[in-house]
Amino acid sequence: MQIKRGIPVSPGVAIHRVVVLDAEDQPIPRRVVPAAMLDHELKRLDDALAESTREIEQMRDQTVASLGKLADIFSAHVAMINDPTVLNQAREMIRNEHVTAEFAIYHTFNRLIGQFRSQSIKSMRDRATDVLDLQRRILGHLIGQARADLSHLTQPSVIVAHDLTPSQTASLDKSKIKAIATDAGGSTSHTAILAHALGIPAVVGLEDVTDQLNSGVTVIVDGNRGLLVIDPDAEMLMEYRAEERRMAAFEDTLIELKQLPARTRDGQNIELLANIEFPDEIADALGKGAVGIGLYRTEFLYLAAETEPTEQQQYEAYCQAITSLKGRPLTIRTLDLGADKLAPVSPALIYSASERNPFLGCRSIRLCLQNLPLFKTQLRAILRASTEGPVKIMFPLISNIMELRQAKMILSDVMEDLDEQEIKFDRDIPVGIMIEVPSVALQAKVFVSEAAFFSIGTNDLIQYTVAVDRGNERIASLYSGAHPAVIQLIKEVVRAANKAHLPVSLCGEMAGSPEFTMLLLGLGLRSLSITPPAIPEVKKIIRSVSIEQCQRLARKVAGFDSDREVLSYLRGEVRKVIPEAFDGRSLEL
């Protein structure tokens, strides 16, 4: 038995066998496969080599006219990929050492790369780059095959990976995934957001867990304490089975709140909305007690597709969401692509994928404003669907007033086009912004006359305020919504919105964390949009406190100067209200 500690990002406990998902840009761990699977591994290798050869030959044929003799580089790659000397070494390694095809290629090619790099002749050393390129191509196909298998899991499993990209998470079989554990990531990485949305335990920032696990090993994922227990003994299993029963009993008490309003003890109604990626999540959100959708992340229509979604496909998805809500509100966020959310089906992202600092580059509204056909297609689909029910449009990552004005101008152009074509739409559709950049939070009063509503996106707001990459496990401890500067920015935005009688909500992961509920109410927020599984617990806290009590808490927090002090105080106050909220985090190992 081995216990590894990471960062807890989604609560709960799961006990299942693991499926390990490798990444071609990370070291491939040595994993042993049963003898009965050796023929399968050899076939996977042959299939990957054949597909790589086909790709290289296609590239050679397509570039021969423009590159002339330089296209012979690809011919050299074809010759190398068919060299029996190297590939037979990989095949023998699979047969004799019972390793996976990807490890055999990784190990064999690394040895060849080392041989080239040690040569005294520069032209020979340069060949190492060609071998590395070929290795990555073959590994891409091998690992891609493994990912395809993951989309058809046959039994409940724990996914273990270095990290999960948004496009990977969008394609996984979510009905079979019971927990997630990753080497990398932080509290608001996309892995964390996915786990919250699924309502499953997750631990990230484990650093090297993929090196230490083979698929099929039984593990315990403890999303309350940030632990991964590898190959647990009988005593540990019994202890965690008991914990599962305790947590299930607590969940049962929350189910009773489904039909009750989110109303404080002194009668203040709080709007609890849900965050979704796909329309088919709405039924579960309403089942958990959501009164609408405060954040529809439309970029997942791209991330989960093999081709760029057409206007009609987007229109049908939006109509499905509106119909499912039966008159309840829906806020559609326009495409938040770029940074780490790259959709290879979109030509607009070719440049974004190669940026040195994509989180500060051409992403979200910037990407849309520089790719008007992409942007207008989505706006047309939203406007056409707006006749089916109440819809709001929300622009992400606005950083200055001119971006908002330009986006609204393009929306007006699309409306004119629809008018000319005599296509109906809601002419009074509300248009708001996400506040997730400090420059806009500090200037919130400037935007109140230009936006119909605000939605505070704390995931990026925290990242940009404290200068911490929210997906970097090495500095994850520095990423905190409890940072006094973050709290001050939220306070200023809410104050500006309330003074102008402008609707304001908060839609980041911070809204679904029970330790922050009382603080957010005390700062003046009356609308929260969160992942559906978090709704019952947040509602229980709301129904257990008064606004005056929350305001006193917020005033107390204003006097603290560190995130640790803030977080410790907030958790202590929530324990006084509902001790069960953190009971599952108290088991000691």
pLDDT tier, 19 (very low <50, low <70, confident <90, very high otherwise): confident
Lowest-confidence region among 17-26, 65-74, 359-368: 65-74
- 46 is written with which tokens? 């042959």
- Residue-wise pLDDT for 444-489, tens only, equals 999 999 999 999 999 999 999 999 887 677 787 888 999 999 999 9
Lowest-confidence region among 56-60, 164-168, 402-406, 437-441: 164-168
d(CA 9, CA 224): 8
Average pLDDT, the chain: 86
Q: Which of 443, 446, 447, 488 has its CA nearest to residue 466? A: 488
pLDDT tier, 271 (very low <50, low <70, confident <90, very high otherwise): very high
Lowest-confidence region among 120-134, 192-206, 476-490: 120-134
Dihedral, CA of residue 468, residue 473, residue 476 and residue 479, to nearest 10: 40
d(CA 52, CA 135): 10
Backbone angles phi, psi at 185, to 5 degrees: 105, 160
Active site residue 190: yes
d(CA 205, CA 210): 11
- Residue 296 near residue 455, CB atoms below 8 Å: no
* Continuous segment of H or E residues that includes residue 47: helix 38-67
Q: Give, in order, the Cα–Cα distances in Å from 43 to each of 100, 131, 138, 148, 152.
A: 11, 22, 13, 16, 19
Residue 247 has pLDDT above 90, yes or no: no
User: Does residue 250 or residue 533 have the better pLDDT?
Assistant: 533
d(CA 352, CA 349): 5
Active-site choice (319, 368, 507, 550): 507
* Cα angle value 87/90/95 (rounded, 5°): 125
Residue 168 has pLDDT above 70, yes or no: no
User: Does residue 472 or residue 410 have the better pLDDT?
Assistant: 410
d(CA 453, CA 438): 17
DSSP 92: H
Residue 331 has pLDDT above 70, yes or no: yes
d(CA 319, CA 117): 57
Grouping H, G, I as helix, E, B as strand and the rest as coil, residue 228 is strand
How confident is the model at residue 174, as a pLDDT? 73
d(CA 24, CA 110): 13
Q: Give, in order, the Cα–Cα distances in Å from 290 to each of 17, 107, 282, 293, 507.
A: 33, 51, 9, 7, 13
Active site residue 16: no
- C-alpha atoms less than 13 angstroms from C-alpha of 527 in its C-beta half-sphere: 24
- 168 is written with which tokens? 């990977």
How confident is the model at residue 350, as a pLDDT? 44
- Residue 438 near residue 489, CB atoms below 8 Å: yes
Q: For a pLDDT cut of 70, what percent of the chain falls above it?
A: 87
pLDDT tier, 23 (very low <50, low <70, confident <90, very high otherwise): low
Q: For residue 326, which amino acid is it?
A: K
Which residue reads 């761990």 in tokens? 29
Active-site choice (77, 190, 196, 483): 190
How confident is the model at residue 169, as a pLDDT? 66
Q: For residue 529, which amino acid is it?
A: S
Which strands form 7-10's sheet, in the order they lie side by side?
2-5, 227-230, 218-222, 13-21, 157-161, 177-182, 202-204, 7-10
Q: Which residues contact 506 (CB under 8 A, 6 or more apart)?
A: 455, 456, 458, 490, 520, 525, 527, 528, 529
Q: For residue 232, which amino acid is it?
A: P
294-319 average pLDDT score: 89
How confident is the model at residue 303, as a pLDDT? 76
- Residue-wise pLDDT for 530-586, tens only, equals 999 889 999 999 999 999 999 999 999 999 999 999 999 999 999 998 887 655 444
Q: Which residues contact 188 (CB under 8 A, 6 or more apart)?
A: 459, 462, 463, 470, 479, 508, 509
Q: For residue 358, which amino acid is it?
A: P
152-163 average pLDDT score: 83
Q: Which of 559, 275, 564, 262 has its CA nearest to residue 394? A: 275
d(CA 442, CA 447): 10
- Residue 210 near residue 160, CB atoms below 8 Å: yes
31-34: long-range pairs with CB below 8 Å, 24+: 31/99, 31/100, 31/103, 31/214, 31/215, 32/97, 32/98, 32/99, 32/214, 33/98, 33/99, 33/100, 34/98
- Show the domains of the chain with their CATH numbers: 2-22+155-235 (3.50.30.10), 35-150 (1.10.274.10), 266-480+502-511+525-536 (3.20.20.60)
Q: What ranges make up the beta strands (E) of 326-378?
A: 330-333
